[in-house]
Structure 1
Amino acid sequence: IVTELRSRVESLYGDSSRRLVADTLAALGVQHARVEMDDAGALPFVIQARIEAAVRRAGADVGLGVLPEWAPNTREPTRRDRFRRSRLYLPGNEPKFMLNAGLHRPDGVILDLEDSVAPTVKDEARLLVRNALRAVDFRGAERMVRINQGDLGLDDLNVVAAQNVHVVLIPKVEDPEQVRAVDERLDQILASTGAEFSKPLLMPIIESARGALRAFEIATASPNICALTIGLEDYTADIGAQRTTEGRESFWARCQVVNAARAAGVQPIDTVYSDVADVEGLRAAVLEARGLGFEGKGCIHPRQIRVIHEAFAPGPDEVEKARRIVAAFEEAQARGLAAVALGSKMIDPPVVRRAQRTVQLAEARE
C-alpha cells in the first residue's frame, strides 16, 4: 500500500492518517493499492467512508464494509411522542456540518441522502451517513435520514437502517404502497442483521398534488408512521404555481396534511422556510403554521432553530391556563371522579390532552 498524503495537518496527524488508510484497506481485503489523499483534518470515520467508497467504485466486494466503533450517546432510542419542533437538514456528503449540529439543540437532525446530494456522490454519502450515525454524538437530537426515491431509497436502507436510525423520511410520496415498501424493507433488514435497535419510525413527505389528495391514506399506510410532513418547493412546482411568502397557493395542501395527520393520530410537520436571513419572516411563518395545527417545521440553517422553538412555545397566559386544567384533571383523578371541572366549566378529555401538551412544551423551553 502506497499512500501519497497532502495535508495541512501532516505534522500532527500524518502518521496516524497513513495507518488508518492501511488498516481500512486491509479490513476491506485490499492488499495492493496506491492512494492519493488530500486531507484538511478529516476525522477517522470520514476517511474510512471515503476509502470504502473508492474501493467499492473499483468493483470490489467488501461485504458490510468497515464500521466505526459506536461513540458515546449514539445508541439511545427515541420516543414516538417526542417533540419534533425543529428538524435540521444536513447534506449527507458534508460531514463537517454534522459534527457540531447537536450543539444548536435541534429536536432532530436529518442526514439527507436525497435532494442535497448530487447523483455522482450518493454512494459515498450513504457510507458517510452510516459512519456518522455510529461516530457522531448529536446531543439528544433525534437521528433522521431522508432516503432517495424508489429503489435507490431501498438501497439506502440496506446501508443505514441498522445503525440506530430513529426516523426514516420518505420523499415525494404519492401512494401508500411507497410507504409499505419502505416498511417491508426495514423488516427484512432488521430480521437479517439481528439489529439490536428498534425499527425506525417513518415520516412520509407530501410533495405533489397526487400526494396531497391521498394524504390520509399515506398517513395510515403503516403503524410505524410518527409524522406527516410537506415539501412546498416540489408541491408548488407540481401544481404550476410560484411559491410565495403569503402561501395562498399551498394553503389547501398544508391544511390537508394537518387534517390527515390528526385523523391518523400522527404529528403534522410543516415545510422549511428557505430565506435564512429573514428572521422575522420565519417567526411569522412558524406562528402561522402553529395556528394551522402544525407541531414542527423543517430548517436549513442552525440560526433558524431558536426562532422556531420560541414561536412554537406557548405564551404565559396559555401556560397558566393549561397548568390549571392539568391540576384540575389530576385532582379529579385522585378523587376518583370521571368528570373534570375548572370553575363552572366542564373540561373534555381532548382539552386536557392539549393542556398537558402545552405544559410539556413550556417545560421543554425552560
Structure 2
Amino acid sequence: MRRTMLFLPGNNPNMMMNGGLLGADSIIFDLEDAVAPDQKDAARDLVKQALTALDFGRCERIIRINALDTPYWETDLEEMIPLRPAMIMPTKVSGAEYIRKLDQRMSEIEAANGLPVGEIRLIPLLETTLGIENAYGIATASPRMEALYLGAEDLTADLRCGRTKEGAEIAYARGRLVCAARAAGIEAYDTPFTDVEDMEGLEADARLAKGLGYTGKAVISPRHVDCVNRVFSPSPQEIAYARDVFEAIRQAKEQGKGAISLRGKMIDAPIVQRARLVLEAASEIEGVNYL
C-alpha cells in the first residue's frame, strides 16, 4: 500500500536519519530540486550512506534523479542502482523516448552490477505540458513502469499560470494523468500540497485527488503524512459496506439467485471490484485478512 510518498532532501542527514519513523509508506530521496548543483556529489554520498547504514523499516525507498538534459543523471543512476532502491523517479519526463533511454541505461547498470535486469521500477514525474499530453505513451513505454506522478509546481510554470490551493489550473492535468495511468494498468500519485500550515486545505486537496482516482499523494512535510494516510485509507464505513457486498454475494450463491441487491441497489461487477479494492487495501494496512 502506497498512500504517502514523503520527499527527503538528499543533502539533509537529519531528515534521512528519521525517515523510517515518520509514518510514510514510501520515502523519496531527492537528488534533484532540493540539491544545489555544487552539492550533487555530497548529496549522493549522503544518500548512499543512509541506504547502506540505516534501517527504514517497511518504508519503500525511491530515488528522484536529475533530468536527462542535465550532466547529473547518469552518475545518479550509476551510484544509486547498486543500492537496489525500489524505484527511480525520473524528472521532467516529456515522452516515451525519454523513458526508453533511461530504461536502457538502467539495464546496463543492473547487468554490470549483477542485478536482475528490470528489477528496479520507474515512477516518472510528469511536470511539463508536453509530459501531460504524452502521458499514455510514457505510461506504456517500459515494463518497469509502476506509476505516474504529477508535479504541479513546474507544470503551472510551464502553463504560465499561478498555482492555487483550489487547483482549478491543474484540473485537466490531474484528469489526463490518472486516465493514462489507469488505461496502462498502473497507479497514479498526486502532487504535494505545498502549504505546510493549512491542514484543512491539505485534507480537501487529498480528498479531491482520491475522488479523481489517485492511489495516493506525495508530501513535502512530515506534518502532512498522517492526514494523507487517513484520507487514502478505507474508512470503517467503506470497509463495512465492502464486507456487506461480499456477504450479499455469498448469500445469493447459497440461495441460487442470479441477481443480487444490497440496500435497494443492484450489485454489479464495478461495485464488486471497488469493494474488493477496499478490502485489499484494508487488509494490507491493518494486517487483517478481510477477504
TM-score (norm. length: structure 2): 0.89
Corresponding pairs, count:
282
Whether the 8 Å contact between 1:309 and 1:365 is mirrored in structure 2 is no
Q: Could you give the per-residue CA deviations for residues 324-365 of structure 1, whole angstroms, max 9, x where no partner exists?
A: 2234557789x8x9x783458664444333212212333455
1:224 to 144, 160, 165: 144
2:74 aligns with: 154
1:237 aligns with: 157
Whether the 8 Å contact between 2:217 and 2:228 is mirrored in structure 1 is yes
Q: 1:189 aligns to what SS in structure 2?
A: helix
Whole-angstrom CA distance in 1 between matches of 2:34 and 2:182: 30
Q: Does 1:145 align with 2:63?
A: yes
- Of structures 1 and 2, the larger Rg is shown by 1
TM-score (norm. length: structure 1): 0.72
- The structure-2 alpha-carbon separation of the partners of 1:332 and 1:156, relative to structure 1 and needing over 3 Å to count, comes to farther
User: In percent, how many aligned pairs have the same letter?
Assistant: 42
- The structure-2 alpha-carbon separation of the partners of 1:190 and 1:292, relative to structure 1 and needing over 3 Å to count, comes to same
Whether the 8 Å contact between 2:88 and 2:120 is mirrored in structure 1 is yes
Q: Does 1:135 align with 2:45?
A: no
Whether the 8 Å contact between 1:164 and 1:197 is mirrored in structure 2 is no
Deviation for aligned residue 1:320: 1.3
Whether the 8 Å contact between 1:329 and 1:340 is mirrored in structure 2 is no
Q: Does 1:120 align with 2:38?
A: yes
Whether the 8 Å contact between 1:111 and 1:144 is mirrored in structure 2 is yes
- The structure-2 alpha-carbon separation of the partners of 1:348 and 1:224, relative to structure 1 and needing over 3 Å to count, comes to farther
Whether the 8 Å contact between 2:3 and 2:233 is mirrored in structure 1 is no
Q: Which moved more, 1:309-318 or 1:182-191?
A: 309-318
Q: Could you give the per-residue CA deviations for residues 22-49 of structure 1, whole angstroms, max 9, x where no partner exists?
A: xxxxxxxxxxxxxxxxxxxxxxxxxxxx
Structure 1 portions without partners, runs of 5+: 1-82
Matches within 5 A, 1:274-285: 274-285=194-205
Q: Could you give the per-residue CA deviations for residues 100-146 of structure 1, whole angstroms, max 9, x where no partner exists?
A: 11112201000000000000010121122122112111120100000
Q: Could you give the per-residue CA deviations for residues 254-300 of structure 1, whole angstroms, max 9, x where no partner exists?
A: 11011001101111100001111111110111011111111111111
Whether the 8 Å contact between 1:173 and 1:211 is mirrored in structure 2 is yes
Whole-angstrom CA distance in 2 between matches of 1:162 and 1:303: 32
- The structure-2 alpha-carbon separation of the partners of 1:195 and 1:236, relative to structure 1 and needing over 3 Å to count, comes to same
Higher relative contact order (CA 8 A, sep 6+): 2
- The structure-2 alpha-carbon separation of the partners of 1:134 and 1:245, relative to structure 1 and needing over 3 Å to count, comes to same
Whole-angstrom CA distance in 2 between matches of 1:106 and 1:241: 31
2:289 aligns with: none
- The structure-2 alpha-carbon separation of the partners of 1:275 and 1:340, relative to structure 1 and needing over 3 Å to count, comes to farther
Amino acid at match of 2:123: M
Amino acid at match of 1:181: K
- The structure-2 alpha-carbon separation of the partners of 1:191 and 1:288, relative to structure 1 and needing over 3 Å to count, comes to same
